[in-house]
Amino acid sequence: MGLLKFLKEKFTKKKENTSEVTEEVIEEEKVEERYQAGLDKSRNGFTERLKKLAIRTKKIDTSYFDELERILIEADVGVDLSLELVKETYDESKERGLDNPEEINDLLVDKMFIGYANEGGSFQTELKRAQEGPTIIFICGVNGSGKTTTVAKLAKKYKDRGDKVLLVAADTFRAGAIEQLEFWANKVGVDIISKANSDPSSLCYDAIKKAQNENYDIVFIDTAGRLQNKVSLMDELRKIVRVIQKLLPSAPQESLLVLDANTGQNGIDQAKIFKEAVNLSGIIITKMDGTSKGGIILAIRKELNLPVRYIGLGEKMEDLEEFDLEKYLYALLVDSKEE
Ligand SMILES: Nc1nc2c(ncn2[C@@H]2O[C@H](COP(=O)(O)OP(=O)(O)OP(=O)(O)O)[C@@H](O)[C@H]2O)c(=O)[nH]1
Ligand SMILES: [Mg+2]
């Protein structure tokens, strides 16, 4: 069975089988709706293009596969992976004698995401927690990628679950950075530690002491996106992690890189530099709602070998979701007009 058909059955069956409208069911539907809305542009940029190509194709020849390559590359799947996927699709469709463009498209989609699922291993969504004492979550990424907004969104999620949350304004370099995080801390109703022009690693040291003494459950560290140059930024991030580990050897429990979905291959190259500097445990992909290039999820898996943990689907506080491959695929592939 094709992947889309499988997902359609799964999602519609789930709805038919749930007779009781509990809060959980309503929340789950809201999450699905946010995925659908956030992936609107990607759906148009990818699924609609595949469909249009199938409709206007009379006969399958090599130019059909060239066009598939173009669609994948333009959806930011990455050049190598795009060529690989189309070659596999070409070979299998020859072997099976497929000449129907829709069937070929389905085969391509299956290959794209079954590969992802196989490489992905476990799909851990919840943040890892410390066995005792505060959990430390380290957030990094280039300037403007969405770190501060994401820290605020995560703070809200964890506060709503009953955790005592502390934010650390470790971007002590950029004018306005502290005020921005203070604004969010106030709005969400969580505590913040900051000190203008201080050394970020000594601020983090103070933050952890405070978290231990005052029994905070979870600490989010918002770091700088830009310093004088890339080397000093990476040195600073490394130093923060070293200092954290002096107090808490098993921290940070998570080091997450925030990546703007619009940055494409460039973003992936940047991510490699961060990955070398700090031991990343996953990626948070932001601004998915603003791009038609949803294929970046695949390129991340292929080139960085890191799981996407959260996905930013809009600017509002609730527009951050734990990454769920099936919801993502369903939102990307489903024909909204069929619904
Ligand atoms: N549409 C949309 N906008 C987002 C999302 N996440 C963040 N943004 C916007 O991206 C812009 C930059 O976000 P920040 O959180 O300030 O980015 P930053 O990484 O902290 O930036 P620096 O502190 O300068 O390094 C803001 O206008 C956010 O509202 C998202 O998922 N969707
Ligand atoms: Mg910031």
Extract the tokens encoding 35: 């995925």
CATH topology of domain 135-323: Rossmann fold (3.40.50)
CA distances in angstroms from 224 to 56, 105, 138, 144, 200, listed in the order given: 49, 43, 11, 10, 9
Nearest ligand 1 atom to the CA of 152 is 15
C-beta of 225 in contact with ligand 1 (< 6 A): yes
CA dist 47 and 44 (Å) reads 6
Distance 233 CA to ligand 2 centre (A): 14
Q: Record the pTM.
A: 0.90
Of 39, 233, 286, 297, the residue with max ligand 1 atoms within 8 A of its CB, to mutate for a pocket test, comes to 286
Nearest ligand 1 atom to the CA of 313 is 31
C-beta of 291 in contact with ligand 1 (< 6 A): no
Place of tokens 């890892």: 128
Pairing state of beta strands 320-322 and 308-312? antiparallel
The contacts of residue 48 (CB under 8 Å, 6+ apart) are none
pLDDT of residue 15: 67
C-beta of 289 in contact with ligand 1 (< 6 A): yes
pLDDT of residue 1: 58
C-beta of 141 in contact with ligand 1 (< 6 A): yes
C-beta of 146 in contact with ligand 1 (< 6 A): yes
Listed by start position, the domains of the chain span 3-120, 135-323
pLDDT of residue 180: 96
Distance 125 CA to ligand 2 centre (A): 23
- Domains 3-120 and 135-323 are alike in CATH topology: no
What single DSSP character describes residue 128? P
Q: In order along the chain (339 residues), what is the average pLDDT of each group of 10 residues?
A: 76 72 84 91 89 91 94 91 95 94 92 74 73 96 95 97 97 90 97 94 97 98 84 92 96 96 90 93 95 87 89 93 88 66
Distance 195 CA to ligand 2 centre (A): 15
Q: How many CB atoms lie within 10 A of CB 8?
A: 17
pLDDT of residue 228: 65
C-beta of 144 in contact with ligand 1 (< 6 A): yes
Asked if residues 169 and 159 have their Cβ atoms less than 8 Å apart, the reply is no
pLDDT of residue 118: 67
Q: Which CATH class is domain 3-120?
A: mainly alpha
**Cis preceding linkage at 252, omega within 30:** yes
Query: Counting ligands in written order, which one lies closest to the CA of residue 315?
Result: 1
